[in-house]
Amino acid sequence: MKNAVNWFEIAVNDLERAVKFYEAVLRIELRRETTEDLELAIFPSDAEGAGGALSLSRHRAPSPNGSLVYLNATGVLDEVLARIEPARGHVLLPKTDIGDPGFIALFSDSEGNVVGLHAPHDGPPGGASGERGS
């Protein structure tokens, strides 16, 4: 098994509001898909990595007490954190150094979910860069 996680869904009550929030905060474009019982706004991902989506379904509801998903904020953690409050979210845990794995932060989104951000420490010279400083 290459990755322990290959798909995640963040439950929402208002898909339009949630899409606006995540697109503003992460500066990405989410792709829409609809099935009979489910509306999704899918995060960009490559074929190698885990994928996920915002999910509007009568079977799930947003909650600050559910599973905790960490979104990739490599190299942009400070910028993403700065966009959370203006997008009507709340930073719950500011950028925090957790040692070798790098930095994390937690926020509540427009729907009341608690979501994490992760950025690794800078890589070795000539390697892929991560987040700078603390």
pTM, full prediction: 0.85
- Sign of torsion, CA 3 66 21 133? negative
Convert the pLDDT of each residue in 53-105 to its tens digit: 999 999 999 999 989 999 999 999 999 999 999 999 999 999 999 999 999 99
Q: What domains are there in the chain, each with its CATH number?
A: 7-119 (3.10.180.10)
Taking the C-alpha atoms of 3, 12, 20 and 102 in order, what is their torsion angle to the nearest 10 degrees? Answer: -30
Contacts of 127 (CB under 8 A, 6+ apart): none
Q: How far is CA 41 from the centre of its chain?
A: 13
> Residue 132 pLDDT > 70, yes or no?
no
Q: Any bridge partners for residue 34, and if so which?
A: 39
Give the containing element (helix H, strand E) for 78.
helix 77-84
> Residue 124 pLDDT > 80, yes or no?
no
Convert the pLDDT of each residue in 4-62 to its tens digit: 788 999 999 999 999 999 999 999 999 999 988 899 999 999 877 789 999 999 999 99
What strands, in cross-sheet order, belong to the sheet with 90-97?
70-72, 114-119, 103-108, 90-97
C-alpha distances in Å from residue 120, one per residue of 7, 57, 66, 95, 132: 21, 33, 24, 12, 9
Calculate mean pLDDT across residues 92-120. Answer: 97
Q: Which of 72, 77, 59 is nearest to 5 (CA)?
A: 72
